[in-house]
Amino acid sequence: MRSERSYVAGLYLRLDAERARVRGEYESALRGTGGTPRERDDQVRALAKEGKRLAVADDGLCFGRLDTISGEHSYVGRIGLFDEENEYEPVLLDWRAPAARPFYVATGANPENMRRRRQFHTRGRQVLDFTDEAFGRPGGDERGDAALLAAVNAPRGEGMRDIVATIQAEQDEIIRLDHPGVLVIEGGPGTGKTVVALHRVAYLLYTHRERMERHGVLVVGPNPAFLNHIGRVLPSLGESDVVFMTTGDLVPGLRVTAEDTGEAARLKGSLKILDVLTAAIADRQRLPEQPVPITLGGVTVRIDAETAEWAREEARASGLPHNEARAVFAEIVTYVVTERAIGRIGRGWLTRDDREAWEQLRADLLKELADDDAFTAALDDLWPVLTPEALLASLYISPERLRAAGADPALWRADGEAWTVPDVPLLDELVDLLGRDKAADKAAEAEAERERTAEAEYAAGVMDIMKLDREELDEDVQLVAENLLYAEDLADRFVERDTRELVERAAADRDWTYRHVVVDEAQELSEMDWRVLMRRCPGRSFTVVGDLAQRRSVAGATSWAEMLEPYVPGRWVYRPLSVNYRTPAEIMTVAAALLAEFAPEVRPPDSVRACGVLPWARRVTEDELPGAIEEFVREEDGREGTSVVIGPPGVPGTVPASETKGLEYDAVLVVAPERILAEGPRGAADLYVALTRATQRLGVLHQDPLPHSLSGLAEIGTPAAT
């Protein structure tokens, strides 16, 4: 024990020295004057990132040791450390390194040339104890589970913890899987599929860092609470170039404020909605009911239906998005009205043979048209510039427009801009169908250029100040000057560099593409959701996490192949997880009975442990219900760990099951399971989710008789009786 404590203490000394070195280089880089501004900024960012990597390693820096048959040994930990004086020999293996893999997969039957695995039990920087597992001994066919059971039995905190010290062989195989396409990880409640996916991201960033970190990784989850729950895992593993979003966040700047009916969500999630969007755009490409008069060069000409139809056909045939095709439409209409005006103005004196005069007159008329409000209004009426939000909102509030687009009347709503999550993929699709507004883009570019010019002028002013005699500068200005890099670089910094971190830049940019995307609770995603995500990752590198048995969305997946084959035919693989690390056997028995009723073809995961506490049920009246909930909350407040009360919509003091997906609590109280089941076709899946959130204790309060699937619960008089 003494030698192990000494070795780990030495690792911490190396860690502290490395931190000090990086911190010193970082501060030096901030003051540095060598190289270009871009080179110095890149160096500062790289050092800042390395500082973050080292900062997370205090807790559990080293958690184990491997001894080979030949007598060599190596230590495994959260990050890698090296002996610079001994040809950079590793003194601590990063858990993702190939040499560390036996720590997770070696067994008595397949020892991977290992003689022993040692796992440290630590608190802070101190080694308290260790557990040894010798390979090759009689009965030593499986890995010892003392560390695993200690981890899964520990009280839950406010967020998901990494499992870097207790990754199991089944999980490690998935984490290290070398597959360039889509990996589907499916597992029942508590199988660790989410945390495995996050560790896979850390592994991919470790093994393909140069390729992946320039564009980052996107993690998509079902709701903000879930993302907050998992948000600490990757930073704890030293990885920060990861963007966390819900599907409702995929269009930057959009605010979701409403919720769709099940039928509207189903319609919006289907690929058939693409025909509706296309038709809605075509409906806005109009022909005039009456010829539109335009005064030009002192004469009046008209935009008639024949002219507009020709222009519309040419614009549509161009294959350009709607807003960009407007230029084609406008060009045809402009040509016709100017030709007609020239013919009338030049009647009797101008012929086409006089090309110079003809073209001069055309140029004059074009200038006149450019400032003609009536002509611009006519173009706006016949081929308007559209934004995704304006088009979709005007479609939803108009039964006539819905009918013209061939849409189901169920899509109608009174407030067109009350955006819902299923609206997001439609709005994203419309960005491509409508295209850019070139005029608005040019105006924005001009404004940006004015800002850059102003910033450069400011920088030039600072440079002039710095050239003054230092005695003429007051103390504050001298302080500013001393903290600037080369004055000549200042303007370049203003003009050239976007100093935001990758995560901030990616989240704000709808056109940003990622090297890898993780999709959690993927069974809830619709066909249209998948189109959005595939656009975000042209390389089609995904880790997809889900459980079809837990699907509640009417637009969600009923088959992985059905969702993925259109995008990655033959490029996706499936890996199941079968061991439940969260839910104790006593609770899983209750949940499995429910699962057998609504998804008999699905086998529930096998719980790795029992907790010794039986789940209970208690029947209450409507008047007794609030007091029973308060009693549960009060009792759990006096215990270590976390708790939640889950119930159907409208029950005070409860949260819906949909908001707890992917989360875990030490204690769970499920209220009115009979009403959750009655909520709709996916009510059984919601109840299954609710029952499987608990890691230790489960209680059920019901007013009506218990559903048959929960008849195995022990009825009690009060929750305290447990």
Do 177 and 105 meet the contact criterion of CB atoms below 8 Å apart?
Answer: no
Q: Name the DSSP letter for residue 659.
A: G
In this model, does residue 441 exceed pLDDT 90?
no
Band (240; pLDDT cuts 50, 70, 90)? confident
Alpha-carbon distance 556 to 365, whole Å?
56
Q: What are phi and psi of 128, to 5 degrees?
A: -90, -40
pLDDT digits (tens, 9 = 90+) for 342-384: 988 988 788 878 888 888 898 999 999 999 999 999 999 999 9
**What integer is the mean pLDDT of 492-515?**
78
Residue 462: the pLDDT is 55
Q: In 3D, which of 126, 125, 156, 162 has the Cα closest to residue 238?
A: 162
Average pLDDT over residues 690-701: 96
Better-scored residue on pLDDT, 38 or 538: 538
How far CA 423 is from CA of 282, 301, 519, 658, in Å, comes to: 20, 43, 19, 19
pLDDT score at 461:
66
What is the band of 508 on the pLDDT scale with cuts at 50, 70, 90?
very high
More confident residue, 145 or 104: 104
The residue with greater pLDDT, 209 or 516, is 516
**If pLDDT is split at 50, 70 and 90, which confidence band does 491 have?**
very low
The confidence score (pLDDT) of residue 452 equals: 62
- pLDDT on residue 27: 87
Residue 600 among known ligand-binding residues? no
Task: Express each pLDDT in 263-275 by its tens digit.
Answer: 999 999 999 999 9
222 known member of a binding site: no
Convert the pLDDT of each residue in 390-427 to its tens digit: 999 999 999 999 999 999 999 999 999 999 999 999 99
Grade residue 444 by pLDDT with cuts at 50, 70 and 90.
low
pLDDT value for 660 = 92
The answer to whether residue 478 scores a pLDDT higher than 90 is no
Residue in the structure block whose two tokens are 């119930």: 647
What pLDDT does 494 receive? 45
CA 2 to chain centre: 46
Highest mean pLDDT among 62-66, 128-132, 449-453: 62-66
Alpha-carbon distances, residue 43 vs 16, 29, 30, 31, 341 (angstroms): 21, 7, 9, 12, 63
DSSP per residue, 22-90: HHHHHHHHHH--SS-HHHHHHHHHHHHHHHHHHHTTSTTSEEEEEEETTS-EEEEESS-EEETTTTTEE
Decide: helix, strand or coil at residue 360. Answer: helix
Handedness of CA 596, 598, 599, 601 (dihedral sign): positive
Asked whether the beta carbons of 558 and 551 are under 8 A apart, the reply is yes
- Here the contacts of 628-634 (C-beta below 8 Å, separation 24 or greater) are 628/701, 628/719, 629/653, 629/654, 629/669, 629/671, 629/701, 631/718, 631/719, 631/720, 632/667, 632/669, 632/699, 632/719
pLDDT band at 102 (very low <50, low <70, confident <90, very high): very high
The model's pLDDT over 594-653, given as tens digits with 9 standing for 90+, comes to: 999 999 999 999 998 899 999 999 999 999 999 999 999 999 998 999 999 999 988 999
The token duo for 89 is: 């020999």
pLDDT surpasses 70 at 448:
no
pLDDT at 484: 43
Residue 235: which pLDDT band, with cuts at 50, 70 and 90? confident
Q: What's the one-letter identity of residue 475?
A: E
User: Is 189 marked within a binding site?
Assistant: yes
Asked if 215 and 514 count as a contact pair (C-beta separation under 8 A), the reply is yes
Share of the chain residues as helix, strand and coil, in percent rounded to the nearest 5? 50, 15, 35
Q: Is 261 annotated as a binding residue?
A: no
CATH second-level architecture of 585-715?
3-Layer(aba) Sandwich (3.40)
What's the length of the chain? 722
Instruction: Determine if residue 291 is labeled as part of a ligand binding site.
Output: no
Nearest by Cα to 47 from 65, 63, 30: 30
Q: Residue 323's pLDDT band (boundaries 50, 70, 90)?
A: very high
**β-strand pairing of 81-83 with 89-94:** antiparallel
Q: How far is CA 526 from CA 113, 264, 399, 548, in A?
A: 47, 12, 25, 13
Domain with CATH 3.40.50.300 in the chain: 182-250+510-577, 585-715
pLDDT greater at residue 385 or residue 209: 385
On whether 194 is known to bind a ligand per the annotation, the reply is yes
Q: What is the mean pLDDT of residues 698-712?
A: 93
Residue 165 — φ and ψ, nearest 5°? -90, -15
Higher local confidence (pLDDT), 347 or 170: 170
* Residue 456 binned pLDDT confidence (cut-offs 50, 70, 90): low
Least confident among 257-261, 348-352, 558-562, 571-575: 348-352
**Long-range own/partner contacts, residues 582-585 (CB < 8 A, 24 or more apart):** 582/152, 582/189, 582/190, 582/191, 582/192, 582/664, 582/692, 582/695, 583/189, 583/190, 583/607, 583/692, 583/694, 583/695, 584/609, 584/610, 584/611, 584/613, 584/695, 584/696, 585/609, 585/610, 585/611
HEC profile of 112-151: CCEEEEEEEEEECCEEEEEEEEECCCCCCCCCCCHHHHHH
CATH of 182-250+510-577 among 3.40.50.300, 3.40.50.1100, 3.30.200.20, 3.90.79.10? 3.40.50.300
| Entry pTM | 0.84
Q: Which residue, among 67, 34, 148, has the nearest Cα to 607 in the 3D structure?
A: 148
> pLDDT tens, 179-232?
989 999 999 999 999 999 999 999 999 999 888 888 999 999 999 999 999 998
Split at pLDDT 50, 70, 90, the class of 479 is: very low
Q: Which residue has the higher pLDDT, 495 or 684?
A: 684
Query: Per the annotation, does 192 bind a ligand?
Result: yes
pLDDT at 669 over 90: yes
Q: How confident is the model at residue 32 (pLDDT cuts 50, 70, 90)?
A: confident
Per-residue pLDDT tens over the stretch 540-555: 999 999 999 999 899 9
